[in-house]
Structure 1
C-alpha cells in the first residue's frame, strides 16, 4: 500500500507540474508582444482581410480562461488543437518529428555517456585532478551550443549528434569525475586494489553498482540538457525535429504547437525525475 501511495503522490505531482506548465506557457505566449501580428499585414492585398481576422481572433482570445479552454478542448478531441501557422492538427505536425528528435537524443546521450565515463575513469584514477582532462570539458562548457553548432557547420565537419554529445559529455564528465574520485578512495576498493584485483573487475563489480543512484540522477540531468540544446541544434543543422518546430512556432506565435511541445518536454523531464528518484522502498516491494 505504501508503494501505491507513493506512486499516486508522484503521479499527482507530475500532473500538477504539467498543469502549471500549460497555464504559464499560455499566459506568457498570449501576452507576449506581437502575439496577434501576422505576415499578411505586410501585404497590401491582404491587409484589410488580415486585420479583420486578427480582430476577431483578438476578441476571442482576449481572456485567458477561454484560451485555455480552447487548448484543453483540442487535447480532448485528440488532435491537440489546430496549428495557427499551418492550419493542420498539431499532432499531425509533431508525431512524425518525435522519431527524429528521439533518435537524435538517444544517440547523443549514448555517445556522451561513453565519452564521459571513459574520460572520468582515466582522470579519476590519478592522485590529483589533471588539467589535461579538466580543460577540454571547461572549454566545451564555455562555448554556447549555437556557436558550437555554427562552427561545425562552417567547418563542414561534425553534425547534430557530435555537438550535442560534446555538450552532454562535458557536463557529465564534471559530475562523474567528482563521484569517481571519492569512490576510488573507499576502503573496500583500496583493499581490493592491494589484493591485485584487476581494474576491469573493480569497475564492473564494485564501482558501477556503488554509483548506480548517482547515475540515475545524471540521466535526468542529461535529458534536461539535451532538451535545452534541441532547438538551436536542430535549427542550425536543419533537422526536421520537434526543436525546429518549436522554434518556428515561437517565431509565429503558434500557441497550440508551443503548448504541446512544452507539455511533452515537461512530461519527459518529470517522468525521468520520477524514475531516477526511486526510493529504496520500491526495491523491497
Structure 2
C-alpha cells in the first residue's frame, strides 16, 4: 500500500509541475496588455510603462514563472492587478461559497443517483428501468442553466420558497443554505443522471459474474445479491465519476454562479478574464487544477480500498 501511495504522489507532483508550465504559458501568450486595458485606450505611454513596471510585467517570462511558482509554494499567489488585494484572500473568500456549493451538489447528485441506479439495475428491461433511463437521458440532454432558470421560475418566483439569487453570507447559515439550494440542485441534476446510468451499467455487468450466480444458487435473493455483493464491486467506475463530478462542480459552475449572482470562484474567473487580471486567472486556474489532481489522487486511494488487487505491485 505504501508503494502504491508513493507512486501516486510522484504522479501528482509531476502533473502539477507540468500543469503550472502549461497554464503560465497559455495565459501569458494571450493577446492584450493588462496595463493598457486597466488604464484605457487614451493613457499616455509613459503611464502605461510605469504601471507595467509596477506590476512586474517587463521582467523576463522565466523569472516571472519562477517567482509565481515560488510564491504559490509559500502560499503567496501575488497581488490582483484590479482589486489591489492578495489573490489568496480573493480565493479564500470565494471558496467559502464555491466549496460548500460543490459539496452540496455532489451530495444531492449521489443521493439521487444511487437509488435510481439500483432501482433500474434491479428491474432491467421492465417499466421501472425504462422510466429511470428516460429520466436520466433527459437530465443529460438538457443544459444545467436551463434547469437553473426553470427552478428559479417555479421555486423562487411562483412558490417563493427559495431566493432567486445572491448570497447573504454565512452569518445566517440557514439563509445561506437556502440561497445555495437551487444552484446546487441545478448543478446536481445532470450529474445525477450521468452517475445513475454509470451505476446501472456497472451493476448489470457485475450481476452477470459467476460469483453472483453462485450466491443466487445458494438462495440469496436478487436484491440481497445486488446490495451485498454487486454494489461493492461496481463502485470503481462510480468512484471515477464521483471524482470527476466534484472537480467539475468546483471548477465548472461559472454559468450557474452567474445565473444566480453567486460570488464564487466561477464568477471570479469570469471577472478576471474580462478585466485581464492575469495573476488572478493563473492562480485560480492553478488552484482548480490542483483540486482536480488531488481529487483524482484520493479517488485512486479509494480504488485501492475498494479493490485490494490494485495495491499489489505489478
- For 2:73 and 2:210, how far apart are their aligned partners in 1? 57
Identify the residue that residue 274 of structure 1 maps to in structure 2: 297
Identify the residue that residue 77 of structure 2 maps to in structure 1: 80
Instruction: Note if contact 1:213-1:276 (Cα within 8 Å) is conserved in structure 2.
Output: no
1:46-90 Cα shifts (integer Å, max 9, x gaps):
x33753445547983474213213323432553311011111111
Distance 1:284-1:187 versus aligned 2 partners, 3 A rule: closer
Identify the residue that residue 33 of structure 1 maps to in structure 2: 31
Distance 1:65-1:173 versus aligned 2 partners, 3 A rule: same
Instruction: Note if contact 2:27-2:282 (Cα within 8 Å) is conserved in structure 1.
Output: no
Q: Is structure 2 residue 150 aligned with structure 1 residue 127?
A: no
- For 1:61 and 1:138, how far apart are their aligned partners in 2? 52
**1:193-208 paired onto structure 2 within 5 Å:** 193=216, 197=220, 201-208=224-231
- For 1:186 and 1:245, how far apart are their aligned partners in 2? 49
Q: Is structure 2 residue 251 aligned with structure 1 residue 253?
A: no
**1:165-176 paired onto structure 2 within 5 Å:** 165-176=188-199
Identify the residue that residue 66 of structure 2 maps to in structure 1: 69
Count of aligned positions: 280
TM-score (normalised: structure 2): 0.76
Distance 1:76-1:61 versus aligned 2 partners, 3 A rule: farther
Identify the residue that residue 213 of structure 1 maps to in structure 2: 236
Distance 1:199-1:176 versus aligned 2 partners, 3 A rule: same
Q: Gapped runs of 5+ residues in structure 1?
A: none
CA RMSD of aligned residues (A): 3.0
- For 2:184 and 2:223, how far apart are their aligned partners in 1? 29
Distance 1:85-1:173 versus aligned 2 partners, 3 A rule: same
Q: Gapped runs of 5+ residues in structure 2?
A: 157-180
**1:1-285 paired onto structure 2 within 5 Å:** 3-36=1-34, 37-41=36-40, 47-48=43-44, 51-53=48-50, 56=53, 60-61=57-58, 63-76=60-73, 78-128=75-125, 130-155=129-154, 157=156, 159-190=182-213, 192-193=215-216, 197=220, 201-278=224-301, 279=304, 280=308
Identify the residue that residue 163 of structure 2 maps to in structure 1: none
- For 1:272 and 1:104, how far apart are their aligned partners in 2? 16
Distance 1:118-1:61 versus aligned 2 partners, 3 A rule: farther
